[in-house]
Amino acid sequence: MSQPFPSVPYLTGNFAPILMECDAPDLPVSGELPRALRGTLYRNGPNPMFAPRDDFYHWFIGDGMVHAFEIGDGRASYRNRWVRTEKLRREQAAGCALFGSWGNPATTDASVQEVDGQGVANTNILWHGGKLLALEEAHPPIALDARELTTLGPLRYESDLGGHALGKMTAHPKIDPRTGEMVFFAYAADGPFTPSMLYGKLDSAGHLTHLERLLAPYPSMVHDFMVTQHYALFPILPLSGSMDRAMRGEPAYAWEPDRGSHIGILPRSGGAARMRWFRNDACYVFHVMNAWEDGSKIIADVMQYDSSPLFNPGAGPAGTSARLCRWTFDLEGNSDTFTRTWLDDLPGEFPRFDERFAMQPTRHGYFAWRGHESTERSVFDGLAHFDAVTGQRRTWLLPEGDGLSEPVFVPRADDAPEGDGWLLATVYRGADKRSDLAVFDATDIARGPVALVHLSHRVPFGFHGNWRSHG
């Protein structure tokens, strides 16, 4: 018999899972959906099917559930499905959770101690090489049917390149808009909490063309990375992992600022011996907005925390919010340090931009921000647009008690100028315990949504999503 979920922060409110899969073929709409908006917004996030086995449940480890909003001709439909990983299939058969948090063997059921559960596939979802891929950072991508959202299975990309077969991939690969090439990495490549990494590339058809092993200065949670036209940048920041801690019953990841920040810069053509390391004081970054080259310099705009906002019980208020920051690396300089310049002081997360201009200098950026003091940590209640040319920003704020997802940019047309398009985000309505899909004109977010698509249930707070155009 399934057990009730415990009352812990990441299993209550809109972090709580919805225990259903459903289809809504024709949703009510307030305002008017743009007729040129034709495609599907996919979103992914944690939605555990069963109550956890131990006391260390964290938002990051719930079973992945994909939510799809299909839009066309001014109408919208919705579908959601769990990603059927090996973990979830086995737990469904047992009727309860079998795997411990973070794969902790001390709290994993004996029946699955030797089983690779293929992760939870709960972090990102994108279209590449003719496949819809559900991603998280410790396991291979899992392919889904693009319309029905049924699980097709994990993709291993078997290859003899470099003597490695790809068994895991970051949740944040970068797609080069010029070539369609996907650049990716994976951390803990030799097992949980090891300093080994993989770096690789897939061509536009999804074929593995490059794969090699790298070594980080220490085991770190490397959630995102940066890619320019000629380089890949790997941030090794002091949110470190330790199996010894996990086996002692302590959190597997912990904030260790004395280790400092290390950024490895590698030519995209590869060659581990060509990695160059830059250093600075401790900070943490979950998400990157964009990165590009400026002569001999590399510029990266990131959402930087002074200290880790999670896995760090001692972090005070000043250490729990990210702000938009510009990192600059001088490849021809004599120093191994990099500079950090704050661009904006608004506390926010989930940065996005017009990805047709990835790896080029960009003017327009967008992110979710926290405007109400009563809004809990890890929840965002507003939308921000930052103009890097003027230094100005525009904002839109939800009523107190509501919450906003990461905004996803959709261009108005393939040849539209940078930033000319729409922003799509799910909105949780706290008073009604349900969600809307909000559509904004990206050039004027301050006036609020131009259309709202109404659901009768919640879309739990999740992580990332992407748009697939239907032409």
Which amino acid is it at 59?
W
| Whole-angstrom distance, CA of residue 126 vs CA of residue 68 | 12
Is pLDDT at 104 greater than 80 in this prediction? no
Do 121 and 142 meet the contact criterion of CB atoms below 8 Å apart? yes
For 87, list phi and psi in degrees, rounded to 5.
Answer: -55, -50
DSSP class of residue 429 equals E
Least confident window among 19-28, 48-57, 89-98:
48-57
Confidence grade of residue 318 (pLDDT, cut at 50, 70, 90): very low
pTM, rounded to two decimals: 0.95
pLDDT tens string 277-296: 999 999 999 999 999 999 99
Is pLDDT at 1 greater than 80 in this prediction? no
Q: What average pLDDT does this structure show over 62-79? A: 97
- Name the token pair of 439: 């559509």
Confidence grade of residue 317 (pLDDT, cut at 50, 70, 90): very low
Do 123 and 463 meet the contact criterion of CB atoms below 8 Å apart? yes
Q: What average pLDDT does this structure show over 437-459? A: 98
Residue of 223, 224, 215 lying closest to 277 (CA atoms): 215
| Whole-angstrom distance, CA of residue 147 vs CA of residue 137 | 24
pLDDT tens string 130-179: 999 999 988 889 999 999 999 999 987 765 555 445 678 999 999 999 99
pLDDT at 192: 84
β-pair type (182-187, 174-175): antiparallel
Separation in Å, CA 434 to CA 68, 449, 461: 16, 17, 11
pLDDT at 345: 94
pLDDT tens string 173-204: 999 999 999 999 999 988 888 999 999 999 99
